[in-house]
Amino acid sequence: MRVGVLALQGDWLAHKAMLASLGVEALPVRSAADLERTEALVMPGGESTAMLRLMEPERLDDLIAERILAGMPALGICAGLILLASRVEPDQKSLGVLDVDLVRNAFGRQVHSTIVTIEIDEELGGPGSMEAVLIRAPRITRQGNDVKTLGRSGEEALLVRQGHVVGATFHPELTGDSRVHRMFCKLAEGGHG
């Protein structure tokens, strides 16, 4: 299985290291040719508008959306989730491949970053909770009927899945807990790439 990590901006190396700890070699994706060599894609945190600008020269955003709609598994983390969403406020372009609406930076500025304990679905394995690092995190304000909540803090959905697309408002790569990446790799092994 060849997992790509979008390597245009953000801490993509942390995802590469997390995947390596699971025995999965991750390929940096910076071009259409890189994307062609992958069967699944991790879209890291960072700055979603900067990522969109860096995708423009090769229409990488359109190519990623086409691949996901054709069945390629995708994991979007924070800004990566913003890119996957159906609708984003304040209004910006997104790929529209995950049926959620989001508000960017809803948990505050960088200085308001925090760690919360969230309840997680049994799909991720035990124990039933994990730490979630929130850094300028988006807030999910609407989920489509096919979107399952896999992690929550109270009533707030922080980890969701719609078929082969997973989105997290937090940064699982910044903790020692690999369950989000492990679950994504299992999903990718059964995916269509």
pTM for the model: 0.94
Q: Are 75 and 170 a contacting pair, CB within 8 Å?
A: no
Would you write out the chain's pLDDT as a tens digit for each of its 193 residues? 899 999 999 899 999 999 999 999 999 999 999 999 999 999 999 999 999 999 999 999 999 999 999 999 999 999 999 999 999 999 999 999 999 999 997 776 665 678 899 999 999 998 999 999 999 899 999 999 999 999 999 999 999 999 999 999 999 999 989 999 999 999 999 854 4
> Sign of torsion, CA 174 19 155 47?
positive
Domain 3-189: which topology? Rossmann fold (3.40.50)
The encoded tokens of residue 70 equal: 């054709």
pLDDT at 192: 46
Domain limits of the chain? 3-189
pLDDT at 109: 64
Residue 85 CB burial class (10 angstroms; 0-12, 13-18, ≥19) = buried
Which has the closest alpha carbon to 160: 118, 113, 104?
118
The residues carrying an active-site annotation are 78, 171, 173
- Please tell me the distance from the alpha carbon of residue 78 to that of residue 80, in angstroms, as a whole number: 5
